[in-house]
Amino acid sequence: MSNIGENFFSKKRKNVFGKIYIANVRNRLRELVNPNDADCKRWIWELVQNAKDSISGQPNRRVDIEINVNSDIYIFKHNGSPFKEDTLFGLLYKFSEGKTNNYESTGRFGTGFLTTHALSKTVEISGDLIPDDQTEPIGFSVTMYREGEDKELLEGLEKTENSLRYFDKPLNWTTYTYKAVTERNREAGDLGIQNFKDNIDKVMLFCPEINSIKLVDNDNTITIERGRDIYFHEYNCYKINFIVNDGCKRIKKTFLYSKIDEYDEKLTERFGTDRNIRICCAMELDENNDIYINNSSPSLFCSLPLVGSEVHELPFIINSPDFEPDSERQSIFLAGTETDEKTGKISDPGINRRILTKSHEIYKNLLKFICNNNIGKRYMAARGLRCVPNVTRFFDRTWYKKSFINPLRNILLSFPIVRNNENQYKIISELNIPDYSNEVNKEQAYLFISQVYKNAVPSYEESINIERYLWKDDDIINFVDIKECVELINDYRDITTFEKNINEDVWNWLNSFLPFIKSYHPEYLEDYAIIPNMNLEFVKLNKSLATSLNVPENIIECLESLNIEWKKIHIHKKITRYSSGTDHKISIAESKIRDKLTTKWSEKMLTLIQYIPYDCIDENFIQKRKTVYELCSVMWNLSGMKNGSGFSKNLWNGIDEMVFDKLLLVIQEFKEIKDKISIEFINKVLVCFSNYFPNTIISNYSIIPNQNQELRSTKNLYKDINIPEIFKDCLKNCFGEDIRKELINKEININNIHTTEKKEINDYKDILNKYFSMAENPTYNRYSRTFSDYIPLQSKIEAAKCLIRIVPSDSKSLQRKLFNLYQKFSKQTFSKNEYCEIDIKDYNYKLWDNSNKYIFDIIREIIEKNKDVKSLANDLRKSEKDTLKYLNIFINKFSDKGRIVPNQYCQFCEIKKLMNEGDDSDLNSDNDTVFENDTISDYDTDSDDSYNKKIKIIPEELKDIAKYLGYDIKSILIHKDMGRPCQRSMSYEKLCEKIDKIMQEKHNDKSTYTDPDFKKGAYELIEKYFKTKSEDELTNSFKYTYSVKNNIMIDVVLDEEARKTLVNIRNKYNDDEIKHLLNHSSEIKEFLKKSLSKNSTQSIVIGRSNNNIRISYNGYYNSYNNNTTIDDIYNIIYKLLLNSNKFRDVSMKNSIYGGIKIVTFNGYEFIIEKFDYYNLLINNNNNNNNNNNNNNRKINIILLNFRSIYFYL
């Protein structure tokens, strides 16, 4: 019985074990017939895990791994610890032995090895085994067969058991050999090897127990060398390099990592043993020191990559041997409660959540290091934070976002991880992050966003990268898209504001932006005001909005000035790459101007007047426009000419006429020339009228200034034909007749006025004569009880003074002579501005007929104020000769009335009391002919010699003799420079007869003998004059006197007293002295009259001049004969001084030259010395130059000055 029982259980146990085995592997093996990519990638890591786990619990052990791929053969081997019987049994029969609570072991469930069957269902395994009853390992080999379904699986299990072989010696390497049979096996091989290559560096990082790994992939060998860890204490971070030798390539892999390895109470409670929680977070850096992420690698590692968990994208790679993954190691448990409700201990989701939350601090450490060590591509530190991964198994989205992702986001936002265009890293909140979600052309969109936001954005590449990682549901992050740009521009409202807020050329920018919006977001154009009009305002696209590219700015300016809103509804011309689809031409603009300016006057018309069409081919039209503008500018203060190029000529039709009419009416309102209405301006108006407005009737407007600056119509005005201003002033000021009011202003260009009415000075002759003919005092009319009109004398005189200054241009005219005389006698010299010349006909000389009479009176009055020519000459400040000239012309040409005619004493007399000298019968021609052509300027008294040649002139000595005899003929003879204007004449014969008669009368009257004048006259006539004439002439002219001349001399000339005086002189002086006294009697008398005074400087100058010696005493001159010697004069002076009784003492001075000493009664002394200055010797006969006798010296200069008198010889 006992044998049956044992066989029963043994047999049943085997049957049950077979079914359990099939149940464990069947489904999984069925999946692996066509394995998914995750399984294809993971097979190699299951082998690595077995190698790593083989040395778990042996902290000093390291394992080496080699993988050899040769076509379809895959050999994996390692030199880890030998199998134990249990571990080998678990491998062959699919269960995990001793791993569940071994926190050093990566394997959990013993199911991972099945994944390697994605490569092949048949596996050759060899290695070392430590039997249960031994301590030393032995070698073994076994082939695992797991092909087919249930039956084949059991058969394969049996075959596997039968293939087990043992070897006495250990093989030292555990080896797994696979042969890829199917195509999917091969794909699995490739995927696994590639995933190995992608992740082996990270596996080496997280699995320090792996000493080395070598991959020989079809003759290409790859090895990896572990570098030395560098610890950065301030960041609690490490940096390590791995060198991957891939064939001939040597690649450096750099990782930055930080880790936590600390006691954890919850894990200890869960597993019933002291447990640390172990977390390592790493970031890979490339050769440029930039963050590098291999997207082929998962972010979750449980020592080895959790292949299949790639959907969990994180900013770092997180490794924790303490993760609790699912059985296929494709995900971690996060769904469920953190505490197991049954045990009250931390659950698998709780452990995983704990690991993830603890990674926050590690993440912060990594960011600190990155930001302080110039590590680039920091945007990758935001990887995985954009959204919650789409995980369907074992996952709690709410917890994941709130407790894991959000804290990571907050940490990230506190670090400068985004690079701007200036290559500076900024905190995300400092920048505007472009949102490209709706953009096709991202680069163009970025350009606009960056410019609108003044480059407060990441660089373009950075924006593309960071935009992929950043989350949208965070107020801290300022995402901006094109729509927000459009809204911002809309808010700016105008170009000026926008320009201040953009660092670009705003027009170039808009020329790119608007076509972009039109292409990708056309709805924004109608919804937002972003199109600049010509007012620089942003407007929305509507039906009215158009372009006007060909309408010049000047026309647009004109439209706006006319309050036509053109700019508001037209796109700015600087927008050249965008159009609303409608374009307005010049014709539309001009039609709007014409519609605005109707036929009724409006000041708006002046706006158009300002524009000058410089491009017009009609030069005359351009000039017209300039002229009209200039006139209007004066009147209405226009701002300036504007360029009217492009304007049509027809635009001004009808407007010019209305403007010109208004201009004339406004001028007329001024009534006179004042302010802006100047003569120059009126002339310009008339030129404009003449040239451009011939149809205008200018006489309908009072715009022409008269000479009083008053504006009048041409109907009441005359052209002024050279009427002198003096004449106009004369009529107005003297007679109250203002002719200027009817005369066109002389500055007005009358050629532009269509009128033929004119006036010249002769037209006012009758008016002038009328006023001169009027009475000078009023007459009372008792019937009308009014006074008659009259012109006061003074007004007529003043008028004459004015008219005399109107001078004929003919220099020979009498009126001009009178003008010249008037200047001389009135002592006035008129400047060019004070008189005027006129061309005048002979019949027009009547202009002065009345006025000259008053000029004659003025000149006559001036002359009569003086008694003689000398007085008049002094008054006129002229020479007597010139004064006589003026008198000659006035008397002979104009008027001889009054006491104005000089006699031969130059005394003024009435002409009727004077006679001409000489007999008129001696003249052969009329008197007037002599003066016919005389003028003041060319008159010469020498012309009077013609009279002396034609008439017998009375000798001057005879006139003097007549005066001595009491008949002063000179007083009644006209001055011979006056010509012969007198009615009576005195001939030589008549005067001789008159003198002879007087001599007879006086001689017969003895009472006249004592009359000295009679004595003198008789002496001069008989002793001197008679000696100059022949006896025949004397007998005929002086019949009585000549016959009794000796009797007259005895009776009259020499009386008794005279004879006594002659006797005394003869007794006192010798003959020579008497001779000298006689010769110098007058000089000696004059000398004795002079007395010396202490208060004056006195001098005697005796100088030689021609044939006389001239003596000067205080300016008085006399003459001596040239033969007088110095000693003669010296002795005479001494005697004269001695006998003068004028001095206290007069004595001769003894010296080399001799001298006279004079002492005055006041005590002043004077010395007269002879001084030889020139040593000049001249004899009495002026020919004995060698005579040295002092008596023969001739006087050149004698000087008496102050206290000394010097004789210069």
Length of the chain: 1209
Contacts of 667 (CB under 8 A, 6+ apart): 635, 677, 682, 685, 701, 703, 711
Sign of the CA dihedral running 970, 976, 978, 981 = positive
Query: What's the CA gap between 989 and 978, in Å, rounded?
Result: 22
Q: Are residue 94 and residue 120 in the same domain, yes or no? A: yes
**pLDDT surpassing 80 at residue 804:** yes
Q: What is the pLDDT of residue 1194?
A: 33
In a domain, 850, yes or no: yes
Of the candidates 427, 400, 397, which has an alpha carbon nearest to the alpha carbon of residue 415? 427
Query: What's the CA gap between 769 and 783, in Å, rounded?
Result: 28
Which segment of 17-31, 818-832, 956-970 scores lowest on mean pLDDT?
17-31
Residue 379 DSSP label? G
In a domain, 497, yes or no: no
Mean pLDDT confidence for 723-743: 92
| H or E segment and range at residue 345 | none
Distance of alpha carbon 881 from its chain centroid, rounded?
A: 71
Mean pLDDT confidence for 473-487: 91
Q: What is the pLDDT of residue 32?
A: 83
Q: What is the pLDDT of residue 1068?
A: 67
Q: Which of 372-386, 689-703, 837-851 has the highest mean pLDDT?
A: 372-386
Percent of the chain with pLDDT over 70: 84
Q: Are residue 764 and residue 619 in the same domain, yes or no? A: yes
* 110: confidence class by pLDDT, cuts 50, 70, 90: low
Cβ burial 1011-1028 (10 Å sphere, 16+ → b, else e): beebbbbbbbbbeebbee
Q: Are residue 130 and residue 105 in the same domain, yes or no? A: yes
Mean pLDDT confidence for 1142-1161: 72
Count of structural domains within the chain: 5
Distance of alpha carbon 554 from its chain centroid, rounded?
A: 24
**pLDDT surpassing 90 at residue 596:** no
* 926: confidence class by pLDDT, cuts 50, 70, 90: very low
Query: What's the CA gap between 291 and 316, in Å, rounded?
Result: 10
Q: Are residue 278 and residue 135 in the same domain, yes or no? A: no
With tokens 């001069």, the residue in question is 1020
Q: What is the pLDDT of residue 1204?
A: 34
122-151 pLDDT, tens digit per residue, is 999 999 999 998 989 999 999 999 998 888
Residue 1025 DSSP label? I
Greater pLDDT, 107 or 597: 597
653-669 pLDDT, tens digit per residue, is 888 888 989 999 999 99
**Contact present, 1203 and 1159 (Cβ < 8 Å):** no
**Contact present, 25 and 153 (Cβ < 8 Å):** yes
Query: What's the CA gap between 317 and 323, in Å, rounded?
Result: 13
Identify the bridge partners of residue 1159 per DSSP, sorted by sequence position: 1145, 1165
Q: Are residue 178 and residue 286 in the same domain, yes or no? A: no
Mean pLDDT confidence for 247-271: 94
Distances (CA, A) of 194 to 34, 37, 216, 217: 19, 12, 13, 10
Using DSSP, state whether 403 is helix, strand or coil: helix
Q: Which of 77-81, 115-119, 294-298, 809-813 has the highest mean pLDDT?
A: 77-81
Residue 547 DSSP label? B
10-65 pLDDT, tens digit per residue, is 677 777 878 888 888 888 888 888 888 888 999 999 999 999 988 988 888 899 99
Q: Are residue 203 and residue 238 in the same domain, yes or no? A: no
Q: What is the pLDDT of residue 1109?
A: 36
User: Which own/partner contact pairs does 49-52 have at CB distance under 8 Å and 24+ positions apart?
Assistant: 49/106, 49/107, 49/112, 49/303, 49/304, 50/78, 50/91, 50/107, 50/112, 50/113, 50/174, 51/78, 51/80, 51/174, 51/210, 52/80, 52/106, 52/207, 52/209, 52/210, 52/303, 52/304
176-220 pLDDT, tens digit per residue, is 999 999 999 999 999 999 999 999 999 999 999 999 999 999 989
**pLDDT surpassing 50 at residue 676:** yes
- CATH number of the domain that 129 lies in? 3.30.565.10
Query: What's the CA gap between 1181 and 751, in Å, rounded?
Result: 88
Q: Are residue 827 and residue 702 in the same domain, yes or no? A: no
Q: What DSSP letter does each residue of 1161-1184 carry, written as one string?
A: TTS-EEEEEEE-SS-----TTS--
Q: Are residue 772 and residue 835 in the same domain, yes or no? A: no
Q: What is the pLDDT of residue 4?
A: 54
849-890 pLDDT, tens digit per residue, is 899 999 999 999 999 999 999 999 999 999 999 999 999 999
With tokens 């954890």, the residue in question is 264
> Which of 185, 201, 224 is at the close of a domain?
224
Q: Would you tell me how many other CB atoms lie within 10 Å of the CB of residue 134?
A: 10
**pLDDT surpassing 80 at residue 925:** no
**Contact present, 249 and 287 (Cβ < 8 Å):** no
Mean pLDDT confidence for 896-923: 90
In a domain, 1041, yes or no: no
Which segment of 568-572, 876-880, 1035-1039, 1064-1068 scores lowest on mean pLDDT?
1064-1068
Backbone angles phi, psi at 312, to 5 degrees: -80, 85
* 1125: confidence class by pLDDT, cuts 50, 70, 90: low
Q: Would you tell me how many other CB atoms lie within 10 Å of the CB of residue 447?
A: 18
In a domain, 481, yes or no: no
Domain that holds residue 730: 605-780
- Kindly calculate the radius of gyration of the chain based on its CA atoms and give it in whole angstroms: 75
Is the pTM value of this prediction over 0.85? no
Q: What is the pLDDT of residue 1066?
A: 64
**Contact present, 417 and 428 (Cβ < 8 Å):** yes
**Dihedral-angle region of residue 898 (phi above 0 means left; psi in -120 to 50 means alpha; beta otherwise):** left
Backbone angles phi, psi at 1072, to 5 degrees: -65, -40
The helix-helix angle for 851-864 and 814-825 (nearest 10°) equals: 40
Q: Are residue 816 and residue 682 in the same domain, yes or no? A: no
How would you classify the pairing of strands 432-434 and 478-480?
Answer: parallel
Distance of alpha carbon 192 from its chain centroid, rounded?
A: 80
Contacts of 602 (CB under 8 A, 6+ apart): none
Distances (CA, A) of 510 to 146, 759, 965: 72, 74, 129
**Contact present, 149 and 26 (Cβ < 8 Å):** yes
Query: What's the CA gap between 516 and 361, in Å, rounded?
Result: 45
Q: Would you tell me how many other CB atoms lie within 10 Å of the CB of residue 948?
A: 12
* 905: confidence class by pLDDT, cuts 50, 70, 90: very high
Identify the bridge partners of residue 177 per DSSP, sorted by sequence position: 75, 124
- Residue 848 structure tokens: 């002065």
**pLDDT surpassing 80 at residue 679:** yes
**Contact present, 152 and 171 (Cβ < 8 Å):** no
Identify the bridge partners of residue 259 per DSSP, sorted by sequence position: 280
Q: What is the pLDDT of residue 1079?
A: 66
* 1180: confidence class by pLDDT, cuts 50, 70, 90: very low
481-525 pLDDT, tens digit per residue, is 999 999 999 999 999 998 888 888 899 999 999 999 999 999 999
Which segment of 256-260, 399-403, 674-678, 694-698 scores lowest on mean pLDDT?
694-698
In a domain, 487, yes or no: no
Q: Are residue 754 and residue 888 in the same domain, yes or no? A: no
Query: What's the CA gap between 82 and 121, in Å, rounded?
Result: 23
Q: Are residue 722 and residue 818 in the same domain, yes or no? A: no
How would you classify the pairing of strands 1197-1201 and 1165-1171?
Answer: unpaired
603-623 pLDDT, tens digit per residue, is 888 999 999 999 999 999 999
In a domain, 1048, yes or no: no
Of the candidates 355, 368, 302, which has an alpha carbon nearest to the alpha carbon of residue 330? 302
221-252 pLDDT, tens digit per residue, is 999 999 999 999 999 999 999 999 998 899 99
Q: What is the dihedral of CA 1024, 1028, 1030, 1034, to 10 degrees?
A: -40
70-101 pLDDT, tens digit per residue, is 999 999 999 999 999 988 988 888 776 544 45
Distance of alpha carbon 111 from its chain centroid, rounded?
A: 91
In a domain, 962, yes or no: no
**pLDDT surpassing 80 at residue 1168:** no
500-511 pLDDT, tens digit per residue, is 888 888 999 999
Contacts of 182 (CB under 8 A, 6+ apart): none
The helix-helix angle for 85-93 and 2-31 (nearest 10°) equals: 60
> Which of 896, 922, 941 is at the close of a domain?
941
**pLDDT surpassing 60 at residue 1117:** no
> Which of 891, 911, 941 is at the close of a domain?
941
In a domain, 749, yes or no: yes
Identify the bridge partners of residue 1155 per DSSP, sorted by sequence position: 1149, 1169
Greater pLDDT, 1127 or 830: 830
- Decide: residue 644, CB within 10 A, 0-12 exposed, 13-18 middle, 19+ buried: buried
Greater pLDDT, 1089 or 839: 839
Q: Are residue 94 and residue 209 in the same domain, yes or no? A: yes
1103-1112 pLDDT, tens digit per residue, is 333 333 334 4
Mean pLDDT confidence for 364-369: 97
Question: The sheet that has 1197-1201: what strands, in order across it?
Answer: 1116-1121, 1108-1113, 1100-1105, 1197-1201, 1204-1208, 1165-1171, 1155-1159, 1145-1149
- Decide: residue 958, CB within 10 A, 0-12 exposed, 13-18 middle, 19+ buried: buried
